[in-house]
Amino acid sequence: MFFGLVKMISCKEATYLASKREDKSLSWRESLRLIVHYKLCAICAVFEKQSIFIGKQARKLEAHNQDAQLPNDVKVKVSTMISNEK
């Protein structure tokens, strides 16, 4: 009865809603569709969990690559270019 009122969505739509939910809130209709979909589809439910996990861990990565070293030849090239422009 209750499920009958909810439009069934595909995995494609479900993952779209899941990724939308990370950013913005869903309407109650959308939330309900997602809940019903997850009851029937473990694959999508696992994917959202993994997706949230990846995002959460990625936030802890440095936005800079700290160990990066600009290769010497580029350093020399830039120095030369700048001094030639003087």
Partner 1 sequence: MNNNTVTMNILQPDKWIENYGDMLFGFAKSRVASESVAEDIVQDTFLSAWKGKDGYRGDASEKSWLFTIARNKITDHYRKAAHNLEEHGISDYGTDFFSETGHWTKEALGMAWDTSASVRVETKEFYEILNSCKDNLKELQKAVFVMKYLDDMDSDEICKELNITPSNYWVLMHRAKLQLRTCLSKNWFNK
Per DSSP, the three-state class of 25 is coil
Q: Among candidates 5, 10, 2, 4, which has minimal Cα distance to 41? A: 10
Tokens at 34, concatenated? 């997602």
Binding pattern to partner 1, positions 36-55, x when CB under 8 A?
-------x--xx--xx-xxx
Which residue, 2 or 59, has its beta carbon nearer to partner 1?
A: 59
Alpha-carbon distance of 38 to 61, in angstroms, equals 30
Which residue, 10 or 31, has its beta carbon nearer to partner 1?
A: 10
Chain positions contacting partner 1, by CB under 8 A: 9-13, 15-16, 19-20, 23-24, 43, 46-47, 50-51, 53-55, 57-71, 74-75, 77-79, 81-82, 85
